[in-house]
Amino acid sequence: MDKILIKGGSPLFGCIQISGAKNAALPLMAASLLTDAPIVLHNLPHLADISTMANLLTHHGVNISMTGEAGDGGHTGRALKLKASKIKNTTAPYELVRRMRASILVLGPLLARTGEARVSLPGGCAIGARPVDLHLKGLSQLGVKIQMEEGYVTASAPHGLKGTKFTFPIVSVGATENLLMAACLANGETVLTNVAREPEVGDLAECLIKMGAKINGIGTDTLVIQGQRTLSGTEHIVVPDRIEAGTYAMAAALTGGDIILKGPRMELLQAVLDKLGEAGVSVQKTEGGIQVKRNGKLKGVDVMTEPFPGFPTDLQAQMTALMSIAEGAAMITESIFENRFMHIPELARMGANVTVHGASSLVRGVGELIGAPVMATDLRASASLVLAGLVAKGETTVNRVYHIDSGYERIEEKLAACGANIERLDV
């Protein structure tokens, strides 16, 4: 199993190209199930999760082929053509779904297109209970009959989906995406209230509109969808990954470096950049990118994760690594997931001083971190350990790198190109 070996202490200098967003790419790929016409997606990141979704879609009957080269149209990611002429199989089996929680995103599109679906309950990152009750409640409002048997959700809507009004009791990105996709082929109008406003939801909605869907309210907390009988094909460029950009911004800040992030949209990262500014990091817009540098000391700042446009939960662990060497203290509160502090005992092994109190962790900055062998337990936790390793004295080995590979494209190459002493060990 691969490991990442880091010799800490080198400040990062240079440019990092930000890839397409995994969390936008996955629902966009699932949307190909909604039409028999081809969908071409550009700027897809090279990630294990993308391959997992491609395998699942192929199993359902989607024909997937590479189209164009990386670099076409100025994008680094690859382009895929997805064509679901016919849905061959409406069961998403456990063997494929267990690898990735986002597999649940095929449920809405399969139901909308064929009137039936059988989807294994998902696995995914171990960051809390992560139920799918909201996906199911919303779909039953759309007229779907749902049964749970042997770990599978068996759903059917033999007479098609019916437009409805549904208010999410809590904000859910995945459930918003599933219902949005389903509602595009429902009979009549659907009004979804208290939806997730994450940019990845907006990216999906924009692609659906290009496919002929009628959607109003993108970027607000209410989406109004006029269902269509069919959707057509389109081409779409996946939005840049704001979480990847935020992670590298924090890497530059941690190491006292100066880097340019190429590609990210500043307005999608505002809550994060504001916090970095408060912490003493300089953040400037440049042509086509964002410059992040730090000369002075880092200051402790309090952070609370919230749905967009708040501070993203997917950057909470990395922010904890940053705060671990800041002057003073930082209170980091996780309001989205109930068990997202698994990086803390590992950071503590590197010398970080962090105490968890319920949903908050109190980080008291220390003078330096010391390299150690550490174990990643989920995707973003792994990223926080890589960041800590970049600044720690001595050697850090990050184990279970497959978590990182599910969400960061060539992380060690991108960091090494900016001067980090980092390599992947194939052991």
Residue ranges that bind ligand UD1, judged by CB under 6 A = 23, 26, 101-102, 128-135, 170, 172-175, 196, 200, 313-314, 336-337
Cα dist from 372 to 6, 229, 252, 388, whole Å? 10, 57, 21, 10
Closest to ligand UD1 by CB, 307 vs 371, is: 307
Write down the catalytic residue from 15, 125, 184, 207: 125
Closest to ligand UD1 by CB, 45 vs 174, is: 174
Please state, as a whole number, how many other Cβ atoms lie within 10 Å of the Cβ of residue 206.
17
194: left (phi over 0), alpha (psi -120 to 50) or beta: left
Instruction: Tell me how far apart the alpha carbons of residues 58 and 250 are, in angstroms, rounded to a whole number.
Output: 37
Give all strands of the β-sheet with 258-262 in edge-to-edge order.
13-17, 258-262, 289-293, 282-286
Q: Which of 389, 393, 394 is nearest to 416 (CA)?
A: 389
How far does the chain reach from its first CA to its final CA, in angstroms? Answer: 6
- Closest distance between ligand UD1 and the C-beta of residue 21, in Å? 9
| Joined tokens for residue 276 | 């970095």
Coil vs helix vs strand at 7: strand
Closest to ligand UD1 by CB, 101 vs 294, is: 101
| Known catalytic membership, residue 184 | no
Instruction: Tell me how far apart the alpha carbons of residues 108 and 144 are, in angstroms, rounded to a whole number.
Output: 10
- Closest distance between ligand UD1 and the C-beta of residue 92, in Å? 15
- Closest distance between ligand UD1 and the C-beta of residue 129, in Å? 6
Q: Tokens 């219902």 appear where?
A: 179
Closest to ligand UD1 by CB, 76 vs 305, is: 305
Coil vs helix vs strand at 142: coil
174: left (phi over 0), alpha (psi -120 to 50) or beta: alpha
Strands 373-375 and 395-399, sheet pairing:
parallel
Which residue's Cβ has the minimum distance to ligand UD1? 174
CB half-sphere exposure, 214, CA atoms < 13 A: 13
- Closest distance between ligand UD1 and the C-beta of residue 381, in Å? 12
Instruction: Tell me how far apart the alpha carbons of residues 174 and 186 are, in angstroms, rounded to a whole number.
Output: 18
Strands 2-7 and 282-286, sheet pairing:
unpaired
For CA atoms 6, 9, 13, 18, give the dihedral sign.
positive
- Closest distance between ligand UD1 and the C-beta of residue 144, in Å? 14
- Closest distance between ligand UD1 and the C-beta of residue 235, in Å? 22
Closest to ligand UD1 by CB, 5 vs 315, is: 315
- Closest distance between ligand UD1 and the C-beta of residue 100, in Å? 8
- Closest distance between ligand UD1 and the C-beta of residue 340, in Å? 8
Closest to ligand UD1 by CB, 16 vs 102, is: 102
Closest to ligand UD1 by CB, 350 vs 409, is: 409
Q: Which of 126, 131, 52, 58 is nearest to 96 (CA)?
A: 52
Instruction: Tell me how far apart the alpha carbons of residues 404 and 382 are, in angstroms, rounded to a whole number.
Output: 6
Strands 145-149 and 152-156, sheet pairing:
antiparallel
Closest to ligand UD1 by CB, 22 vs 400, is: 22
Residues serving a catalytic function are 125
